[in-house]
């Protein structure tokens, strides 16, 4: 029996019936203010970077500014709206899912009470990241209801991804790149900066293109005499073809697997609540995607060969042929073993938000101490290559189990709604598919939650999921006292305003560090670093720059005092944020100086049997 698709729930049309703009309660953020800002945060960041030498972190700083600034501005407006709203008519609501994420935010806020936070800048950056995801979900849950704006966002994501694929194709070819394309010749990364991150972003865009196709068909059915939706259907199919080619050409196994999982969930959920006609309408789109991937397989031979080799490595590893693993897959096993060692050492409270990378070398040293004959690869990484494992390491069993409990509760509610054939909008179906895609990557993959430009889409999807599948209210989540609401709004506004100030100072500091690198004058360089050190967010980068400044000064002037100052600063930096870059420098210097005690300390982080300590042949090269 055929089922007639029901009208989208809780989404208003582009032009509300009755003319004029939709009226909102007093104090509510107006549409003309909300939609442009949220669209910029969701659509633009994956396309921008800072060309030239004006910024120190050329790839990430503009992505942060573009994604975070509009959300912070909206958060200030939201906080003021909550404070100014009449006591008997609150303008914002927090659903049960929102309260659960808030509890998680409060948990990580309290972490310094039981965790040794060695890097305050790192903790602050990660905290602001997580807080941004929370407020984005709150804003979208309350405000994002217009179908036409959702289509604009999905179309913008697809166009962004297609441009990134074009950039990536130029990057792997011997052509001179224009200034607006990331200058990394030979790498298929676009402006995302990393191959797997490009794959994840394009996979998200392909799934969004499927949802956009269905929305356009609904628009076409409502506007029979208007050809514009039909034109958009063709344009969307063209963009989908480019992105399907691109997601295959990234050779990212996790992205292809995640796209398959997200698409399957989207199709099954849609068929359950809207009937088999849902899948039939999408068959031409799926055919376009498969043809584009087939074309990439056939004609993009270099990328195809790379993907085949990766697949062979994964297959051999799955059947136990560890010696046949590629270097990347062998390294991944080592990372998992190190992460589990870290979790065993800090089981309940974790190592602290953002501090996985600063505990990796210590955990790896402990791993090889327990298993000195292990053939695992020695390496350094900032990520656990599994967001779930990464989260367990940083927040402990308490935070990890809480997160999994929230996810299982959401999954149960979705299955319950689908079983009952609940009336679900296309936005709700898109949310289910998108979350399936992203959490597939999160279980085995790169770092979708460590890139603000991708993680904001998780917040958008969760906001739709909470509105369409989860209970609207629960007894424990009700707040009846207006002063609590107003305090909540004031807190949001103050934190968002402070975060904007911190980010502004961070941008100035980042530029100062770039300027310090470009000068050859020692006093001018130190002056630039002094400016950078005033930023809380990037003070750690300034600390490292100080150490490098004094070491360079020691070499140039043969100055022993500068050398001692530089090594002391570098040691202090290393013990706060241990990385191989500083480790190698310290081992090199103490080897030249013949300081056996220090040398034994720092070489203990290396793999046993991979090094030997001999008397220094000469100290003449040391200042």
**Cβ contact 476:492 at 8 Å:** no
H/E stretch holding 483 reads: helix 482-518
* Dist CA 92 CA 478 (whole Å): 13
Sign of CA dihedral 595, 355, 539, 56: positive
* Dist CA 204 CA 262 (whole Å): 9
Tell me if residue 146 falls in helix, strand or coil.
Answer: strand
Look at residue 427 in the predicted model and tell me its pLDDT. Answer: 97
Q: What DSSP state is assigned to residue 472?
A: S
Nearest alpha carbon to residue 204 among 430, 475, 496, 49: 430
Q: For each successive 10 residues of the chain (623 residues), what is the average pLDDT?
A: 42 37 56 96 95 88 96 96 77 86 96 96 96 96 94 98 96 88 92 92 98 94 81 96 95 91 97 95 96 89 68 54 55 90 96 96 95 88 88 96 96 96 95 96 74 94 95 70 86 97 96 95 96 95 97 95 97 97 96 93 90 62 44
Tell me if residue 12 falls in helix, strand or coil.
Answer: strand
Look at residue 449 in the predicted model and tell me its pLDDT. Answer: 75
The answer to whether position 241 is within a domain reads no
Look at residue 16 in the predicted model and tell me its pLDDT. Answer: 33
The answer to whether position 497 is within a domain reads no
Look at residue 447 in the predicted model and tell me its pLDDT. Answer: 67
DSSP letters, 391-432, are HHHHHHHHHHHHHHHHHHHHHHHHHHHHHTT----HHHHHHH
Look at residue 239 in the predicted model and tell me its pLDDT. Answer: 98
The answer to whether position 468 is within a domain reads no
Nearest alpha carbon to residue 359 among 152, 63, 161, 578: 578
The answer to whether position 161 is within a domain reads no
The answer to whether position 41 is within a domain reads no
Q: Is the model's pTM score more than 0.75?
A: yes
The answer to whether position 141 is within a domain reads no
The answer to whether position 609 is within a domain reads yes
Look at residue 310 in the predicted model and tell me its pLDDT. Answer: 63
Token output for 382? 């900032």
Angle (CA) 267 269 275, round 5°: 80
Nearest alpha carbon to residue 531 among 510, 553, 547, 562: 510
Look at residue 615 in the predicted model and tell me its pLDDT. Answer: 66
Per the structure, the count of domains in the chain is: 1
Look at residue 399 in the predicted model and tell me its pLDDT. Answer: 96
Q: Which residues pair with 12 in a beta bridge?
A: 146
The answer to whether position 599 is within a domain reads yes
Look up the domain containing 544 and give its range.
538-623
For the chain, percent helix, then strand, then coil, each to nearest 5?
A: 70, 0, 30
Look at residue 614 in the predicted model and tell me its pLDDT. Answer: 73
**Cβ contact 560:551 at 8 Å:** no
* Dist CA 128 CA 87 (whole Å): 30
Look at residue 299 in the predicted model and tell me its pLDDT. Answer: 83
């Amino acid at each position: 029996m055929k089922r007639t698709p029901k009208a989208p729930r809780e989404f208003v049309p582009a032009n509300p019936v009755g003319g004029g703009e939709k009226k909102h309660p007093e104090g509510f953020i107006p549409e003309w203010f909300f939609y442009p800002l949220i669209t910029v945060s969701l659509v633009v960041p994956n396309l921008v970077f800072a060309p030239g030498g004006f910024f120190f972190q050329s790839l990430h700083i503009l992505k942060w500014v573009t994604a975070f600034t509009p959300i912070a501005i909206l958060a200030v407006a939201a906080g003021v709206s909550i404070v100014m709203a009449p006591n008997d008519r609150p303008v914002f609501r927090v659903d049960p899912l929102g309260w659960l994420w808030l509890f998680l935010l409060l948990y990580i806020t309290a972490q310094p009470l039981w965790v040794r936070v060695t890097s305050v800048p790192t903790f602050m950056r990660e905290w602001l990241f997580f807080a941004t995801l929370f407020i984005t979900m709150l804003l979208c849950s309350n405000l994002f209801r217009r179908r036409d704006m959702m289509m604009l966002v999905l179309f913008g994501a697809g166009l962004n991804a297609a441009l990134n694929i074009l950039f990536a194709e130029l990057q792997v070819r011997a052509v001179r790149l224009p200034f607006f394309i990331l200058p990394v010749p030979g790498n298929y990364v676009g402006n995302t900066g990393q191959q797997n991150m490009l794959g994840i972003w394009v996979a998200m865009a392909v799934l969004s293109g499927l949802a956009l196709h269905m929305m356009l068909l609904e628009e076409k059915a409502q506007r029979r005499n208007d050809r514009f939706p039909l034109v958009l259907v063709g344009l969307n199919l063209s963009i989908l073809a480019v992105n399907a080619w691109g997601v295959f050409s990234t050779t990212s196994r996790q992205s292809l697997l995640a796209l398959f999982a997200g698409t399957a969930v989207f199709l099954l959920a849609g068929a359950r609540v809207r009937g088999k006609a849902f899948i039939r309408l999408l068959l031409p789109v799926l055919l376009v995607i498969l043809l584009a991937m087939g074309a990439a397989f056939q004609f993009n031979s270099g990328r195809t060969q790379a993907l085949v080799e990766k697949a062979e490595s994964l297959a051999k590893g799955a059947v136990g042929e560890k010696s046949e693993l590629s270097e990347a897959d062998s390294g991944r096993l080592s990372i998992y073993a190190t992460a589990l060692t870290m979790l065993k050492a800090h089981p309940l409270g974790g190592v602290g938000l953002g501090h996985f990378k600063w505990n990796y070398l210590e955990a790896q040293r402990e791993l090889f101490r327990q298993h000195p004959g292990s053939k695992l690869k020695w390496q350094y990484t900032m990520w656990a290559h599994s967001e779930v494992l990464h989260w367990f390491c940083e927040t402990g069993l308490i935070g990890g189990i809480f997160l999994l409990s929230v996810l299982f509760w959401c999954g149960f509610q979705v299955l319950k709604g689908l079983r009952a054939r609940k009336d679900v909008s296309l936005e709700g179906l898109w949310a289910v598919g998108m979350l399936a895609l992203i959490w597939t990557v999160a279980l085995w993959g790169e770092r979708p939650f460590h890139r603000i430009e991708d993680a904001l889409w998780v917040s958008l999807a969760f906001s739709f999921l909470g509105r369409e599948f989860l209970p609207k209210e629960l007894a424990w989540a009700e707040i009846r006292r207006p002063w609590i609401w107003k305090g909540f709004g004031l807190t949001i506004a103050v934190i968002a305003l402070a975060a904007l100030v911190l980010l502004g100072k961070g941008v100035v500091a980042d530029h100062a560090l770039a300027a310090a690198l470009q000068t050859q004058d020692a006093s001018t360089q130190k002056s630039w670093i002094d400016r950078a050190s005033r930023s809380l967010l990037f003070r750690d980068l300034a600390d490292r720059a100080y150490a490098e400044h004094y070491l360079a000064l020691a070499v140039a002037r043969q100055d022993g005092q500068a050398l001692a100052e530089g090594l002391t600063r570098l040691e202090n930096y290393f013990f706060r944020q241990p990385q191989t870059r500083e480790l190698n420098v310290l081992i090199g210097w103490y080897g030249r100086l013949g300081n056996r005690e220090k040398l034994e300390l720092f070489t203990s982080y290396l793999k046993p049997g991979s090094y030997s300590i001999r008397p220094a042949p000469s100290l003449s090269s040391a200042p």
